[in-house]
Amino acid sequence: MTPAGDRTERRQVEPDDSTPRRLPLDVEHEQLGAKFSPFAGWRMPVMYSSIIEEHFRVRTHAGLFDVSHMGRFLIRGHDALRTVQRLVATDISGLRSGEARYTVLLTPWGGIRDDLIVYRRDDGLLLIVNAGPAEGDRTWIEDHLVGDATLDDLTDITCLFALQGPDALEAITSIASCDPSGIAPFTFVNASVAGVEATIMRTGYTGEDGVELMMQHTDALRLWRETLIADRRGDIAPCGLGARDTLRLEAALLLYGRDLDQSTVPYEARLGWLTHLERADGSDFEGREALLEAQARGPSRLLVGLATDVRAIPRTGDTIVVEGEVVGEVTSGSLSPVLGHPIALGYVKPEMSDVGRTVTVVSKSKAIPARVVDRPFYRRGVTPMPKWPHRGASTRPSAKDDPR
Amino acid sequence: MNPKNLKYHKEHDWARIEGDVAVLGVTDYAQEALGDIVYIELPEVGTEVSAGSTYAEIESVKAVSDVYAPLSGTIVETNEEVVDAPELINESPYEDGWLIKVKLSDPAELDELMSAEEYDQALAELDE
The mean pLDDT of chain A is 92
**ipTM confidence score:** 0.75
Chain-chain contact of A6 with B62 (C-beta, under 8 angstroms): yes
- Per-residue confidence in pLDDT tens, chain B, 128 aa: 799 999 999 999 999 999 999 999 999 999 998 999 989 989 999 999 999 999 998 989 888 889 999 999 999 999 999 998 999 999 999 999 999 999 999 999 999 999 999 999 999 998 76
pLDDT at A116: 98
Distances (CA, A) of A117 to A102, A107, A244, B75: 4, 17, 17, 55
pLDDT at A399: 35
3-state secondary structure of A103: strand
A4 vs B39, B66, B91: nearest CB: B66
pLDDT tens track for A264-313: 999 999 999 999 999 988 999 999 999 999 999 999 999 999 999 888 89
List, in order of start, the domains of chain A with CATH numbers: 21-68+156-250 (3.30.1360.120), 71-154+265-297 (3.30.70.1400), 301-373 (2.40.30.110)
Chain-chain contact of A1 with B38 (C-beta, under 8 angstroms): no
Chain A residues in contact with B41 by the CB 8 A cut-off are: 312, 366
8 Å CB contact between A266 and A109: no
Please state the rounded mean pLDDT for residues A178-199.
95
pLDDT at A388: 59
Virtual torsion, Cα A65, A71, A72, A73, nearest 10 deg: -170
Q: Averaging pLDDT over each range in A7-16, A115-124, B117-126, which range is the top one? A: A115-124
A/B interface, count of CB pairs below 8 Å = 72
Chain-chain contact of A4 with B39 (C-beta, under 8 angstroms): no
Please state the rounded mean pLDDT for residues A164-181.
95
Virtual torsion, Cα A150, A152, A153, A155, nearest 10 deg: -140
Chain-chain contact of A2 with B13 (C-beta, under 8 angstroms): no
Chain-chain contact of A391 with B65 (C-beta, under 8 angstroms): no
Q: pLDDT over 90 for what percent of chain A? A: 87
Q: Does A393 touch chain B (CB under 8 A)?
A: no
pLDDT at A14: 42
pLDDT at A393: 35
